Amino acid sequence: MRRTIKKYLSESREQKEVIDGKIISKDIFGRATVQTATGTFKAVDLRGRGTTGVKINNTAQNQNEFAILAGNQERNIIQPTYYDLPNNNFNFNLIVVDTCNYRIQLLNKNGTFISSFGSESIFGMIRGIAATDKDNIYISEQYPNYKVYQYDSNGNRKKELDANGGIYWPLGICFRNDYIFIANGEYIEKFDADGNYIKSYNFSCEYPSSYLYDVAIDSNSNYIVSYFQNNIVRKYDSQGNLIFTLGTQSQYDEGSNDDGKFWSPRGVAVDSQDNIYICDAFNCRIQKFDNSGNFVLKFGSYGNKSGQFNIPCYIRIDSGNNLYISDFLNNRIQVFSSSGSFIKSIGTQGNGTNQFNMPMGIAIL
């Protein structure tokens, strides 16, 4: 059960802070333990004490108010009652695969940690992620199972996806136009939003090792796929006909850092104008192309300062055309504008809240 809870200091009746959290337990007196990004609090209903002005989702509640008291304090509890908010009010909208912490982190786009699920006993080497809504999260796992799973945001595995030819090498996943698309070896597998298999598209190319790393779908249902071992990215129409190739095919160890060329292109994404953004992983930069494939700009270099990368891995774009990029070996998510201006960095190395251990896939709601 998820709830969005806003924190007030009841003493002054003045709003001091707004936080998101979830109730993880309730005792027999109706007191709730609330887990938030900053710790665990006791939540009690102060309605009977005359506390007013309490709001949930900016809407005044006539009953079922919460006040959360810092430091596990407990106050007079009169007629404790609880307000159950629908799941879609649980305010996460950024989902990150935290690969070597074996967990999925749920955050808001400011980078505030909301919740997480998963452990080493549950996940192997997890990679890509997409979400159709807050309770349909698709996760690809490489070793040891090579599967794609559907989870809810409470961490319950709902099902395992299967395609006609089998899921055998799943990596990037994207959600677009009510469909889920999964890079699976040389194939893109298409599923509906509930995870029901629809069709496989064979995108094998004329070169050896044409495994796909990621997939993006533009507004015309064209496919943009990255051939990370051939140093090229291709755009195909919805029927699988080649429209253009970005980069120049070369062996894996012969990449180029010229504009418009790549060294192991990995994550791909499109913005609202169908511009294409590509994680040029071994060049530690992002390249942007227009929807005709013309080079527009590049940004980033090797390093760990703001705006630098150590293997940019996946990229996803929100409705405001902000770019969220997993900076794999710097253990952070970096956010940029569509012109490549650095906006902020989310996370540091570690296994606590707001920390990552080699983040990979990103999904944005």
Partner 1 sequence: MIIVDDNNYATNKTFTVNTIFNGITEKNIYINSGVAVILEGICQGNVYLSKNSYCEVDGIVEGDFIYGEGTFEFYGLINGEIRKN
The Cα–Cα gap between 75 and 258 comes to 65
User: Residue 51 CB, nearest distance to partner 1 (Å)?
Assistant: 47
Based on CB atoms, which residue is closest to partner 1, 145 or 357?
357
Based on CB atoms, which residue is closest to partner 1, 108 or 142?
142
What angle (nearest 5°) sits at the alpha carbon of residue 23, between those of residues 19 and 27?
A: 135
Based on CB atoms, which residue is closest to partner 1, 160 or 253?
253
Q: Phi, psi (5° rounding) for residue 313? A: -110, -55
Task: Summarize as ranges the residues that interact with partner 1 (CB under 8 A).
Answer: 99-100, 125, 142-143, 209, 211, 229, 252-253, 263, 282-284, 301-302, 310-311, 328-329, 331, 349, 357-358
Based on CB atoms, which residue is closest to partner 1, 244 or 252?
252
Distance of CA 126 to the CA centre of its chain: 13
Based on CB atoms, which residue is closest to partner 1, 71 or 144?
144
User: Residue 19 CB, nearest distance to partner 1 (Å)?
Assistant: 30
Residues paired with residue 364 on neighbouring β-strands, in sequence order: 94
The Cα–Cα gap between 269 and 84 comes to 36
The Cα–Cα gap between 287 and 279 comes to 7
Based on CB atoms, which residue is closest to partner 1, 86 or 350?
350
User: Residue 106 CB, nearest distance to partner 1 (Å)?
Assistant: 21
- 88 neighbors 130 (Cβ within 8 angstroms): no
User: Residue 316 CB, nearest distance to partner 1 (Å)?
Assistant: 20
Q: What secondary structure letter does DSSP report for 168?
A: -
- 335 neighbors 110 (Cβ within 8 angstroms): no
Q: Which two tokens stand for residue 196?
A: 């029901």
In 146-253, where do the E strands start and end? 147-151, 157-160, 170-176, 179-184, 187-192, 197-202, 215-217, 223-227, 232-236, 242-246
User: Residue 69 CB, nearest distance to partner 1 (Å)?
Assistant: 38
Based on CB atoms, which residue is closest to partner 1, 9 or 100?
100
User: Residue 146 CB, nearest distance to partner 1 (Å)?
Assistant: 10
Return the H-helix or E-strand segment holding 165. none
Distance of CA 65 to the CA centre of its chain: 31
Residues paired with residue 94 on neighbouring β-strands, in sequence order: 107, 364
User: Residue 331 CB, nearest distance to partner 1 (Å)?
Assistant: 7
Based on CB atoms, which residue is closest to partner 1, 23 or 358?
358
Based on CB atoms, which residue is closest to partner 1, 119 or 301?
301
User: Residue 294 CB, nearest distance to partner 1 (Å)?
Assistant: 26
Based on CB atoms, which residue is closest to partner 1, 211 or 277?
211
User: Residue 276 CB, nearest distance to partner 1 (Å)?
Assistant: 23
User: Residue 168 CB, nearest distance to partner 1 (Å)?
Assistant: 12
Q: What are the contacts of 70-73 at 24+ separation with CB within 8 A? A: 70/41, 72/40, 72/41, 72/42, 73/42
Query: Residues with Cβ < 8 Å from 144, sequence gap 6 or more?
Result: 124, 125
Helical H runs in the chain? none
